[in-house]
A and B are shown apart, each in its own frame.
Chain A
Amino acid sequence: MANKREYSAADPEQTLFTAKLINVRPLVNMLRTISFRPRALCTISPVGIVFTVEDSRCIVAQAYLRTTLFATFNYNTHLAHEQNKVQQQAASFSQDREDSSESDGINEATQIVLPLDNLIECLTLFYGPSGAGSLSGFTSSHHVTGVQSTSVLLGNSNPLDLRGATTAHIAFNGPGSDFELMLEERGIISVCRLATFVPEPPVDLEFSRFPVVQQLIIRSEWLRDAFNELDPTSEAVTISISASAPYFRISTIGSNGSTEMTYSKDEKILDSFFCNVEQENRYKLSQILKCKQALAMSDKTKIRVNQRGFLSFQFMIPTDVDVSFVNFVYAPLLYADELVDGTETHCV
């Protein structure tokens, strides 16, 4: 280890990406909603950062952190162009490609893979020995005892309690360098460096490629009730939406019997409801339950199903600045006699 230690913030002019957070809690809460895998794809662009986590090609979760969530946000687009150009040239050189027209559409975003669990550990360094003051009751993905409302989760009556808050300076200088955090609380400074990895082609469940045939917005507390009723011994959960009664039903069949939650089209419960095609789709329950933390933090949830039966939950999470979004997309389970060869993605 070097004898001289440095802990000054990186220079925004010289660095690809720098940002500052007055309080890390909103970021930590957002990251925890998608922390069911150790690694995440991090996409940085002029509009913000998106963290993407994928599992078994049947669930993709994304947390969108817009620039408004940060006190300062500096993304050096010019440097990004340079770096992406170098990377593309290196890639096409090694693949021996003749076609140089690819270089015209250089993406101005930067993508790297980060160890997400370590990132959260670093951000919560000053939280105290047990990580108290955080969503500690929900870090386990397999013990589903119940989902509570946001204010209880945040542990106190003031959801914006920023006492003893950690500030963070973030810096990243492009693929090949470490992702750096400089955290400070009450005069103590921690400098963290996280290893980064070159991303593999991301799994894209292509939700938007197919028309959305069903949609509704439901207050999250209702959906939390439904989730609490689901039988955890059931392999699958069925979501049925139709233009006639029963409009929206969630059901499971397990060793304890069957459960069914039905919602009427009442405006007070379901908002912006439409259904062009009546469909009933099944999804793997254990994967569906991975969105419980995001559900717990949100006020409202937008549910959409596309023509292929893929399901999207969009959770609207209030932060002190505005609303942030976390998205979960699920591939449906297919019955054995419906399995099709080819390029379609199936959840098994």
Chain B
Amino acid sequence: MRFRTVISNANLLLRVVQSIDKLAKSAILKLTPEKLHIIVVTDIDSGLQLWSDVAVHALFAEYQIESLHRNEIHLEFSIDNLQRALKSAQGAVRTTMKLTKKHGLPVLAIVVQNLSITGSEMTLCQDVPIRVLTPAQMDMVREPLVPDSQVHIMMPPLNSMRSIAERIKAMGDRVAVSANRDGELTIGVANDLVEITTFFRGLENLTYDSTQPSANPTPDRGPTEFYSAVVDMRNFVRFLQSYHVAPKNIVCCIIEHHAVVFYVYIGAAGYGGVGALNDQACGSLTYFIPVRQV
């Protein structure tokens, strides 16, 4: 098993890792010849899951990977450790990353080369401890199968939704996320004493073609009728509180009785417009929030 690369876009890699920082302590890094995947599973049944992928060419140069298992390598790492190492790589002259062993333990060795004020070279080595996953272990980690969603809608500015979610989170342990095909998205909470529904309007709906090449189910409701999924409040708030690598580019998809899924499309610079959804996207993050089982 061999892996070594030059990190050409440390900034983008850092921002992807930052977006998972609040979700969990550790995550899975899956490296393939074409893509880098980061996977977070907070709870296999009821928790929020994040599946992300970024094209190798958007992050790395001189990328070399070799393994007995389709040239893929699967690692488990601490998010905090990797984040800190990548922070020190920001603005560096050259950063390399390779899989190696230090004191008999496997690590991702990140070497950052910088110029000091006086012009001399400074080299910083950071070793991020990792655990290599066997192919059998990796096979158990599967992306959730989700039926086609009934409605897709662009999210409103996240900070307004986040501040409202912070205010309502104490009022109930579940939140109903609903959307229609008329540009409206609502979040609702209820308990014995109070019921609050907040409407975000004027949002852009996406048609099926842009996100799902698969079958297009005939809509069974009028455009102003809502589709709704009830999810755990903590999972929803955790998603909103995450750092977002492209906060203006988040699509919300609702699959009734099943899940709410948020897709974030990353352009090469990290801020791609809606057009980046298809052509210029170099990666995506998919947040799965399952419907709360009673």
Residues of A near any B CB (own CB < 8 A)? 1, 3-5, 7, 115, 118, 121-122, 124-129, 131, 178, 186-195
Contacts and interface: CB of A to CB of B under 8 A. Distances in A.
22 contacts: A3-B221, A5-B178, A7-B199, A115-B194, A121-B171, A122-B196, A125-B167, A125-B168, A125-B196, A126-B163, A128-B163, A129-B162, A129-B163, A188-B198, A188-B199, A189-B201, A190-B164, A190-B198, A190-B199, A191-B197, A192-B194, A194-B194
B197 A187 contact: no
B176 interface: yes
A187 B201 contact: yes
B66 interface: no
A126 B164 contact: yes
B188 interface: yes
B160 A3 contact: no
A195 B176 CA distance: 19
Interface in B211-238: 221, 224-226, 228
B193 interface: yes
A5 B186 contact: yes
B62 interface: no
Nearest to A178: B195
Nearest to A38: B193
B192 interface: yes
A8 B166 CA distance: 25
Interface residues on B, range: 20 to 34
Interface in B142-200: 156, 160, 162-164, 166-168, 171, 176, 178, 184, 186, 188, 192-200
Contacts of A131: 167
Q: Closest 3 A-B residue pairs measured CB to CB?
A: A129-B166, A190-B198, A118-B194
A4 B163 contact: no
A125 B176 contact: no
Nearest to B196: A192
B250 to A, nearest CB: 17
Interface of B: 156, 160, 162-164, 166-168, 171, 176, 178, 184, 186, 188, 192-202, 221, 224-226, 228
A331 B287 CA distance: 58
Contacts of B197: 5, 190-191
Nearest to B164: A125
Contact of B226 (A5, A125, A187, A195): A5
A7 B221 CA distance: 20
Given A1-B178, A3-B226, A125-B167, A187 B196 contact: no
Nearest to B184: A5
Given A4-B225, A129-B163, A188-B198, A194 B193 contact: yes
A83 to B, nearest CB: 23
A13 to B, nearest CB: 25
Nearest to A129: B166
B243 to A, nearest CB: 16
A118 B176 CA distance: 19
Contacts of A124: 167
A189 B198 CA distance: 6
A41 B87 CA distance: 56
